[in-house]
Amino acid sequence: MAASSTVFSDSYSATSRLLLPFRIRGFHLRRTLFLSPKSNNRSFVSSSAFAPVAMTTETSSKLLDGKLIAKKIRDEIAGEIDGIKESTGIVPGLAVILVGSRKDSQTYVRNKKKACEDVGIASYEANLPEDCSEEEVIKHISKFNSNPSVHGILVQLPLPRHMNEEKILNAVSIEKDVDGFHPLNIGRLAMQGREPLFVPCTPKGCMELLHRYGIEIKGKRAVVIGRSNIVGMPAALLLQRANATVTMVHSYTKNPEEITKQADIVISATGVANLVRGSWLKPGAVVVDVGINPVDDTGSARGYRLVGDVCFEEACKVASAITPVPGGVGPMTIAMLLSNTLSSAKRLHELK
């Protein structure tokens, strides 16, 4: 399919691409159909997740409610942190480094700070100007590396263009790499029998969501659409570690629709609104939509609304289960960041 190579490109990470001003090419946008509480069974699904849903009926997919599950996880984390504080006085700490003044990055950092506060994680922040040097950023990373109150360090991406992302991410101590982007952590994730200290938050959140809904992965066919370093690639590695048979679909894939249609589990992370149509899905497939694509919406207060990579209205007639956008993977990403920070604090202090 020649069109596919013009439809999306994986030269940027999925999440950073979608933060760029977005143009929709060739996709007719429909109003996202939200499932009514009546037609939508929010209870936990088990093997029924793979029961085919007839396309001709009005049956809707089960909603994989990331917002709900993330809340549950945050409550679990808050409880555990309370206990640790009480018995040891240790307060887990997360440092976030923000370079530049992108509005979207500022919003994400604010949300992460708020999420930390809510569960009892202390947050530390370094806000650096757009035009600061790589050395300046690395100086801040080094300070956080040696600060015993800081257990996790996150360098908000994307970095300004003039910076070497690899060099900067390499400066984060592997022991505090709660984003899981350090090459040693990624390398271990890719190798059998090796354990990374941290797994990247977004793909980890996808897996945790599937797990909490009892969706089996072993032996299933999985397709990951998009091969970014921060989502697609680690998502494929995690699925493979969970014994799925994994295929990656990307901008040079011929017949992406045909290949995706074979999948029992689809994870899409391209940053292209409504790329994945209902016709791309096998009836009964489980769909995890990582996209968070802003599309103009004059009716909303912000002037835009968020849609995923998957045409939700079509997909929910075909899939057995699907994540909504917003309220799906996004909140899970934040919950996994908190979880990684807590486990880092426990490891660094040799707590159980």
Residues engaged in binding ligand GUE (CB under 6 A): 15, 108, 154-157, 179, 201, 292, 306, 325-327, 330-331, 333-334
10, 65, 156, 177: which one is catalytic?
Answer: 156
Phi, psi (deg, nearest 5) at residue 234: -65, -30
179 belongs to the catalytic site: yes
179, 264, 289, 309: which one is catalytic?
Answer: 179
343's CB contacts (< 8 A; 6+ apart) are none
β-bridge pairing 304-307 and 293-296: antiparallel
Binding Mg ion (rule: CB under 5 A), the pick from 180, 231, 330, 342 is 330
Q: Which helix (H) or strand (E) holds 347?
A: helix 329-348
Min. distance of Cβ 215 from ligand GUE in angstroms? Answer: 20
Structure tokens that stand for 261 in this block: 């249609």
Q: Of Mg ion, ligand GUE, none, which one does residue 157 interact with (CB within 5 to 8 Å by kind)?
A: ligand GUE
**3-class DSSP assignment, residue 241:** helix
Min. distance of Cβ 326 from Mg ion in angstroms? Answer: 5
Q: Which is nearer to ligand GUE, 165 or 216 (CB)?
A: 165
Q: Which is nearer to Mg ion, 203 or 330 (CB)?
A: 330
112 belongs to the catalytic site: yes
- Contact between 206 and 233 (Cβ < 8 Å): no
Q: Of ligand GUE, Mg ion, none, which one does residue 333 interact with (CB within 5 to 8 Å by kind)?
A: ligand GUE
CA 23 from chain center: how many Å? 22
Binding Mg ion (rule: CB under 5 A), the pick from 109, 209, 233, 325 is 325
82 belongs to the catalytic site: no
Q: Letter for the amino acid at 307?
A: V
Instruction: Note whether 152 binds Mg ion by CB under 5 A.
Output: no
Q: Of ligand GUE, Mg ion, none, which one does residue 311 interact with (CB within 5 to 8 Å by kind)?
A: none
Q: How far apart are CA 111 and CA 244, in angstroms?
A: 33
Q: How far apart are CA 65 and CA 179, in angstroms?
A: 23
Structure tokens that stand for 37 in this block: 């509480």
112, 220, 282, 317: which one is catalytic?
Answer: 112
- Point out which residues bind Mg ion (CB under 5 A): 325-326, 328-330
